[in-house]
Structure 1
């Protein structure tokens, strides 16, 4: 097996195979662990760590493009960083470098929801221990973990208006992506058709109606995520303490 090669022969990715389940398990443990040690992490100066993670993501993306070019699989139709998770990756890098609240509000939803869906139903053909497997799951895991870190450790919180900002961002982005798809004969953000592998899109109707259905699903999931991570009101907290 060529670690940096372009063939998946003999190392084909298997959805919910052992390596896939291990990765999902590690991610779940990391999320739970981050939540459990959040108060201890608040006491530390983690600015250098934020820069290191941002640097890792930049290097991972550069290596990914080098891998595609080296193996003659880089194509303008599907290799530009215009998939939702690619966009979220760049937003995570910007968030780590700038700590901008607006970037957090967007990537909290696009990153966590998009990357979780990608990890559960990955558009991936290379299994462990190929470079692409490691790249895919490490970057997508960080796209999820970084917004949780900014929520639980840095103290950022989403508001209802955050959901509105996400939808404005996505609906401004959508016409541009559709234009690029037409010019490149691509399918970025799957706005031109469903992916070859199984995903949630298989249950949302035919093209182009699944795009509208997907926005409805995104709204419901965004509201649930907001409910779970929003800042609890002082009255609710006080009432909880009295009840205890």
Structure 2
């Protein structure tokens, strides 16, 4: 039980067993989502209610851990870390149902993919925070896919711009908070890389670089969609000519 709650448990290293467990876990969940996509389309209300329940339970597990170990503070628990904010947005979206919010959730949620590929400060899989991490980031990754099955959600270039603007506001607020209380939101203080850059350069590199990254992702998605649509149309035309 001590290891399950141990605040000094060794962190995940890239390529170690815990990292592999996380990667296998998200692969299984993605496989299940695509396998049961017809059922997701048939029961959208039940599925979205399930998403809401998972999001709320994840937030409770995360907060409970920090409360149990006595680290329930803004600087230690970091309740406004970007993926945790995305979880709050998923909960809010269940009630407000705004199309632009799905766009922000998707683009901000790209950081969840990065967390699986390059884990920084992540607890082991058999740990309360590890379970919380896996629930949170898996939810963020599958949410846009489920929305796509339910209502045809597609990430847009306009959505990328909306996400970039809202992210710039978020990053600015987090930087001000870091300077005020010594927290480490978005790893602006204790950085995983680019440690030689001064603070203003690092800040603006994050702000504009990530915004541009959102737009590039949107363009790639639309290029892929257009490619497959053109290929499908070409195949259909070819079949029509064969029948004639």
The TM-score, its normalising length taken from structure 2, stands at 0.81
1-side partners of 2:39 and 2:24: how far apart? 23
1:238 aligns with 2:236: no
Q: Deviations over 1:45-103 (max 9, x none)?
A: 23123112212221221222121122112222242422111111111222344432111
The alignment status of 1:127 with 2:124, answered yes or no, reads: yes
- 2:142 paired residue number: 145
Query: What is the alpha-carbon distance in structure 1 between the residues aligned to residue 209 and residue 37 of structure 2?
Result: 32
Native 8 Å contact 1:104 1:147 kept in 2? yes
Residue 136 and residue 235 in structure 1: after superposition, are their counterparts in 2 closer, same or farther (change >3 A)? closer
CA contact 1:84–1:110 (8 Å) conserved in 2: yes
Q: Per residue, is there more helix in 1 or in 2?
A: 2
Residue 48 of structure 2 aligns to a residue whose secondary structure is: helix
Q: Paired residue for 1:93, among 85, 91, 94?
A: 91
SS of 1:77's partner is helix
**Aligned equivalent of 1:170:** 167
Instruction: Give the TM-score of the pair, scaled to structure 1.
Output: 0.81
Contact map agreement 2:103 2:159 (CA 8 A) in 1? yes
Are the counterparts in 2 of residues 57 and 93 from structure 1 also a CA contact under 8 Å? Answer: yes
Cα 1:40–1:188 change in 2 (3 A) is same
Task: State the partner residue of 1:199.
Answer: none
Structure 1 stretches of at least 4 aligned residues deviating more than 6 Å after TM superposition: none
Give the root-mean-square deviation of aligned CA atoms.
Answer: 2.9
Counterparts of residues 36-185 of structure 1 (less than 5 Å): 36-42=35-41, 44-111=42-109, 113-124=110-121, 126-185=123-182
Deviation of 1:33 (Å) = 4.3
Gaps of 5+ in 1: 196-201
Going from structure 1 to structure 2, the CA distance change for 1:225 and 1:2 (only over 3 Å counts) comes to farther
- For residues 228 and 43 of structure 2, the distance between their equivalents in structure 1, rounded to whole angstroms, comes to 28
Q: Flag structure 2 segments of 5+ consecutive residues without an equivalent.
A: 240-244
**Is the 8 Å Cα contact of residues 165 and 211 (structure 2) preserved in structure 1?**
no
Count the aligned residue pairs. 235
| Structure ID, larger Rg | 2
